[in-house]
Structure 1
Amino acid sequence: MDAASPRLPLALKLVVSAFLAVMVPVYYHDYGPTNFLYFCDVALLLSFIALWTEHPLPASMAAVGILVPQVLWCADFLGELFHVHLVGLTGYMFDANRSLFLRGLSFFHGWLPFLLIFLVKRLGYDRRALLAWTALGWSLCLVAYFFLPPAGTVLPDPKIPVNINYVFGFDDAHPQTWLPAPLYLLAWMTGLLAVFYVPSHLLLRRLYGQKRPAQPVAESRNVTPVALAH
């Protein structure tokens, strides 16, 4: 791509960079490093990479992975705001033990989907995103399941996340009990692919899929026939 003609506004790059320059150290201090293993945080970092490289794959991966979950986050937040409990994704947004500033940073969940749609529209949708994000998302699930605190763990600092990416159920205070834990993990990973990733991939591919370059016309078709030798 010609560096003199970027496809993305410099102002947008600077605004997102400034937000991350604030959010990353604050999150690290208050939530710890494992918080950056959440799907949404990984997607935000991928968006940052796509902004500055102007490569479609990072933006496409993030869009496949979190467009639908972020819609659920917004719906859950509005539900909690009006005292309607849906799935409990945003309960921490109403935790008085967390500062308004810290909770305010989490509103990136609301604007990140619009940023991703803008990026994919400008850069095009890379069809490798489904496989790439699925591999990344499943890897994050396995790391959270085998190496990070499960639901119900009581930590000295209650802001440190447990049950990252909901690999033990949707209630951070108690692991789910309707399936054996390994079977639930397998069902959760399969459900992510079938319910979230594949529909997003199909829609994005239809709307913004990169068009393959047209095949060049064979030179022989444009060559004037040579007269037969006598």
Structure 2
Amino acid sequence: MPDFPALAPASRGRIPMPDKLAYTAFVAVLVPTYLSSYGPTNFLYFCDQSLLLTLVGIWLESPLLVAMCAVGLVAPQLLWVLDFLGTALGCPITGMTAYMFDRSTAPFLRGLSGFHGWLPFLLIYLVGRLGYDCRALPTWTALAIVTLLACFFLMPPPTPEPGLTPVNMNYVWGMSDRAAQTWVPAWAWLAGLIVGLPTLLFLPTHLALRRWAPARSRPAAG
């Protein structure tokens, strides 16, 4: 693993109030808009769960909540950024950001969804301010597995014309919202996500953040 320079403990501190207020204002606009446009099930997406957990985390200044979101979101959302740039240049990587260029979706909704591009960088900044809580990896992994199972067994699968209805949430049926993948049985794809996400995305992010960021403060014994 690259030898990241450690963040100096002196850089730790409270989250500035303007940051808290700006983030809160954004969430205050996004939540009712998404509820009206997509419905409450949209908040089963990892990114939307993290958006809300981060809101709580910045007000409580909770290293655990912020670190959980960083472990779960930094790697996949950086991939979102790369796919967005690739799609804009005509060379999509995964196709996950195709909806950002779908003119049938209101520009305001697509603009709100731009948070996928800046949230991973905000989370890195917040971890730097609060310190990294190593409990984030098992806690986020448990939440992610429960969410994947709920999305697979309870939420709609892909459909040819999904519109704004949330389907195939967190890609539990494949990478397309219009058709399920056919490479492997559905249960094998789900099992691959349950094993692969923690192994290939969450764990490397955990190791990088643990190495780079200061440990969270712990109360003195006694």
Common fold: TM-score over 0.5: yes
Classify 1:175/1:11 alpha carbon distance in 2 versus 1 (closer, same or farther; 3 Å): same
Give how far 1:152 is off: 2.4
Report the equivalent of 2:5.
none
Is 1:98 the counterpart of 2:131 in the alignment?
no
> Which stretches in structure 1 are left out of the alignment for 5+ residues?
1-5, 217-230
Classify 1:103/1:212 alpha carbon distance in 2 versus 1 (closer, same or farther; 3 Å): closer
- Alignment: residue pair count: 209
Q: Is the 8 A contact 2:133 2:216 kept in 1?
A: no
Report the equivalent of 1:76.
83
Give how far 1:154 is off: 4.5
Q: Is the 8 A contact 2:132 2:216 kept in 1?
A: no
Q: In structure 2, the residue corresponding to 1:172 is in which secondary structure?
A: coil
Q: How do 1:127-146 and structure 2 match up within 5 A? A: 127-146=134-153
Is 1:110 the counterpart of 2:117 in the alignment?
yes
Report the equivalent of 1:27.
34
User: Partners of 2:218 and 2:43 in 1: how far apart?
Assistant: 38
Report the equivalent of 1:148.
155
> Which stretches in structure 2 are left out of the alignment for 5+ residues?
1-12
Classify 1:125/1:84 alpha carbon distance in 2 versus 1 (closer, same or farther; 3 Å): same
The correspondence for 1:87, drawn from 83, 94, 99, is 94
Report the equivalent of 1:66.
73
Is 1:183 the counterpart of 2:176 in the alignment?
no
Classify 1:92/1:215 alpha carbon distance in 2 versus 1 (closer, same or farther; 3 Å): closer
> TM-score, normalized by length of structure 1?
0.87
Give how far 1:32 is off: 1.1
Is 1:38 the counterpart of 2:45 in the alignment?
yes
Q: Is the 8 A contact 1:153 1:162 kept in 2?
A: no
Classify 1:178/1:205 alpha carbon distance in 2 versus 1 (closer, same or farther; 3 Å): same
Q: Is the 8 A contact 1:127 1:209 kept in 2?
A: no
Q: Is the 8 A contact 1:144 1:165 kept in 2?
A: yes
User: Partners of 1:24 and 1:200 in 2: how far apart?
Assistant: 27
Q: In structure 1, the residue corresponding to 2:30 is in which secondary structure?
A: helix
Report the equivalent of 2:3.
none
User: Partners of 2:72 and 2:21 in 1: how far apart?
Assistant: 24
The correspondence for 2:213, drawn from 185, 208, 213, is 208
Q: In structure 1, the residue corresponding to 2:164 is in which secondary structure?
A: coil
Q: What per-residue deviation string (whole Å, max 9, x for no partner) do you get for residues 32-57 of structure 1?
A: 11111111111111111111000100
User: Partners of 1:51 and 1:212 in 2: how far apart?
Assistant: 16
Amino acid at match of 1:132: T
> TM-score, normalized by length of structure 2?
0.90
